[in-house]
Structure formats: structure tokens, C-alpha cells
Chain A
């Protein structure tokens, strides 16, 4: 079947999509966007976290056909004009990137959290990132990165335009 959707602001069309295919497979194998990672394929690990119509979800749990005419944003769509998003920069500056396989999902999940709640407390951060597993177990620095990103984003908001 053919699936037409908007990915990172660009209208995309994929032919030959199998009815049972996931959005994750569509992104990775048809549209050449391997940033969303394929790990558990059952919504446990969060490494494929993307936005679907502005809501963060596991791309492995969405059928490709369900994304028809909808808007998807992946980790590849967060940096603008070569400049890292503050969440991405905070992950780098906090040493929250090790093997990096969980990083794209965590970056999208953190981006979503801070859009909804600019100054989350630790319990809220843990809750928001509970669906993203890091097998390097680098959670301490990941939480540092979320706090750093939150502070920087708030600082940027407070600066006079």
C-alpha cells in the first residue's frame, strides 16, 4: 500500500508498504531515517520515540497505515539549521551519551516533557522518562541533562526578545 505523511515538515510518500508494517519500519526502511532506533519492537524500551501529531509515542507500536496524512517528528527533526536543540546540547554537555542507542528516544522524550512542563521536579522527570531504557545505565547523567536543558530553555525564555 501507499502511505503519505509529513515527516519533519516534509511531505513524504512511501510505496510498497506492507499492511502489518510499523511506523518505525516505515521511517527506517522506506524513508531513510534510521535515527529512531529499533530495539525491543514492543514498546518497552522507548528507543523509537517520535512525535505523532505532537504526541510522543513509540513508533514501533503504531502501524504505518495509521500515520496516513498525519505529522511525524523524529530525532532528525529537532536540530534546526545545523544548530543542536538545547536538549541535544544538554545531553552532550552532561555526559549523558554513552553507547548512544537510547539517546534519540530520550532526546525526543525529554523534548516532549519540557514542552509540557518547563520546570519538572525529579519525580516528574523520572515518570516522563520511565519508558526509556538505557542499558549503559547512565541514568544519573541523563537526569542531569534534563535539568540542564530545563534551566537553559527557561533562561532563553526569560531573555528579553
Chain B
């Protein structure tokens, strides 16, 4: 079977770019190989606060009390969050 302009055809539509069976490029690939992709740790805003997790230095120990007052007294500390700040039963 041929078309009116003489080209052979298999009876199927010509393969469209980006169709089934064609490898698709990663939409974020170029940014990731050039270092431009911004991960959470790459975001920066004026006045941004930094968080630090403080864990018990003692394995298998029972935390009986957490005294946040000395931490709050440190210059620049905006907040100290503990289990008490998590809603619900803790």
C-alpha cells in the first residue's frame, strides 16, 4: 500500500515524538546535572530560622524531664519545641 505521494505505509500513523516506546528525558534532568535544582536544603529566605534536633545522649534512657529554659535564654533562639507542643496524647 502506498500513499498518494508514493511513500510506503504500514497502515499505522507515523510515530509521534514523545510517543509510546520512546525514552522520555527527565524534566528536571538538566537542572540536576548542573547543580541548579533546588532541594529543601537549598532554599533560602530572609530571616529564615534554622532548626536543630536535640536527642538524648544516653541510649535506652527514660527522659524524665526536659528543661527548655537555658536553651530559650540563648541569644537568637526563637523557640524550643518539645513533646508538649505536639497536639494530642504524647
Contact B41–A84 (Cβ < 8 Å): no
The interface-forming segment of A51-59, A101-109, A120-128 is A101-109
A75 lies within 8 A of chain B by Cβ: yes
Contact B26–A75 (Cβ < 8 Å): no
User: A104: which B residues are within 8 A, CB to CB?
Assistant: 32-33, 35
Chain A residues 89-137 with CB under 8 Å of chain B are 89, 91-92, 95, 97, 100-101, 103-104, 107
User: B33: which A residues are within 8 A, CB to CB?
Assistant: 75, 84, 88-89, 91-92, 97, 100, 103-104, 107
Taking CB as reference atom, which chain A residue is nearest B34? Answer: A79
Taking CB as reference atom, which chain B residue is nearest A91? Answer: B33
Give the interface SS of chain B, mostly helix, strand, loop or mixed.
Answer: loop
Contact A75–B42 (Cβ < 8 Å): no
Of A37, A38, A84, A95, which is within 8 A of B34 by CB?
A: A84
A74 lies within 8 A of chain B by Cβ: yes
User: A89: which B residues are within 8 A, CB to CB?
Assistant: 33
User: B34: which A residues are within 8 A, CB to CB?
Assistant: 35, 75-76, 78-79, 84, 88
Interface size on A, residues (CB 8 A): 24
Contact B41–A92 (Cβ < 8 Å): no
B26 to chain A, nearest CB (A): 6
A151 lies within 8 A of chain B by Cβ: no
Contact A97–B29 (Cβ < 8 Å): yes
A2 to chain B, nearest CB (A): 21
B88 lies within 8 A of chain A by Cβ: no
User: B30: which A residues are within 8 A, CB to CB?
Assistant: 84, 92
- CA separation between A78 and B38, bound complex, in Å? 18
Taking CB as reference atom, which chain A residue is nearest B29? Answer: A92
B19-50 interface code vs A (CB 8 A; 1 in, 0 out): 00001011011101111111101100000000
Please, could you name 17 A-B residue pairs with CB atoms under 8 Å apart, sorted by A?
A: A28-B42, A33-B35, A34-B42, A35-B34, A35-B36, A38-B41, A75-B34, A88-B33, A91-B33, A92-B25, A92-B26, A95-B23, A100-B37, A103-B33, A104-B32, A104-B33, A107-B33
- Chain A residues proximal to chain B, CB less than 8 Å: 28, 33-38, 74-76, 78-79, 84, 88-89, 91-92, 95, 97, 100-101, 103-104, 107
- Other A-B contacts than A104-B33, A107-B33, 12 sampled, CB-CB below 8 A, are A28-B42, A34-B35, A34-B42, A36-B35, A75-B35, A76-B36, A84-B30, A92-B25, A92-B26, A92-B33, A97-B26, A104-B32
